[in-house]
Amino acid sequence: MRCFLYCDMFYVFISVKHERKGVTSSTLCLFWAPGHLGPRAKGTRRSRWGPAVLGLGLLCAGLLAGLLVLAVRYSVTVKDLSMTQSKSMEQQKELCTLSTLKQRFDEQLKDNIKRNQTCPEGWRKFENACYHHSDQKKSWNNGRNDCIKKGGDLVVIDSSQEQKFLLEYEGDFWIGLTDLEQEGTWKWVDGAPLILSNWAEKQPDNGNKNAAYGEEDCAHSRRPTWNDVSCDTNLRWICETSAEDAQISMAQ
């Protein structure tokens, strides 16, 4: 900012330089030139406007000095604000980086815990779940109640890998699949709809309308496929629980 003021008594020059990342500089020059209009002739009267001009000049100088102070303060404030914003951005980046690292650490910790989890005695581990094959034969409901008492439920098959694993168990056994709520709409015991199926040919047929078979509303595994049969049939069953829940049950 540059400002010039000319009058009979004063010459004032103010310069303010502001650079965003440079150095703030300022200059204020005040010259009193009482003889600006040249030497006064001998015998002439002193101008009656002299005091007024002097007062006006001093007022201008004061105002300009105030503007200079404000300009310097503004420059310093802008510079401080810029530095504060820069530090804030750096802190946000660091916080984001720490949050990402924490998330990765938590995921890795969970994976390590899952890999190291074991199943209770009499249960087999596959991936992140534990399985128990009963040595008794009961109805579908009674078998399910036994699983619930053990902290699990009848097995829910939701992948081809799990289905392949279950083929290692010999004989027929109940699985957690039924259409008791609505005929023809098969659901797993956890409420999930049937998506991956492994029905035998022409199954399920609900007894093929043969009264001797009754209502066939429960599914069992009959290697290597599934079949629907009366829920009152006595069969073995397989319970399933997560490895994490099994650990909690073991600790109790």
Q: Which two tokens stand for residue 57?
A: 């000049």
The residue among 222 and 30 whose pLDDT is bigger is 222
pLDDT on residue 32: 47
Among 172, 144, 190, residue whose Cα is nearest residue 228: 172
Least confident piece of the model among 41-50, 73-82, 86-95: 41-50
Q: Taking residues 207-222, what's their average pLDDT?
A: 84
Please tell me the pTM assigned to this model: 0.55
Other C-beta atoms within 10 Å of 135: how many? 7
**CA dist 22 → 25, 84, 197 (Å):** 9, 16, 73
Specify the 3-state DSSP secondary structure of 156.
Answer: coil
Q: Which of the following CATH numbers is that of domain 124-251: 3.40.50.720, 3.10.100.10, 3.30.160.270, 3.40.50.1360?
A: 3.10.100.10
Angle value at C-alpha 136, between 135 and 141, nearest 5 degrees: 125
Q: Where are the domains of the chain?
A: 2-36+50-99, 124-251
pLDDT on residue 152: 95
Q: Is the per-residue pLDDT at 214 higher than 50?
A: yes
Buried residues in 28-59 as b, exposed as e (16+ CB within 10 A): bebeeeeeeeeeeeeeeeeeeeeeebbebbee
pLDDT digits (tens, 9 = 90+) for 103-145: 888 887 677 666 666 788 899 999 889 999 999 999 999 999 9
Q: Model confidence at 185, in pLDDT bands (50, 70, 90)?
A: very high
Residue 204 has phi, psi (to 5 degrees) of -80, 145
pLDDT digits (tens, 9 = 90+) for 4-34: 444 444 444 444 454 444 444 444 454 444 4
pLDDT on residue 21: 46
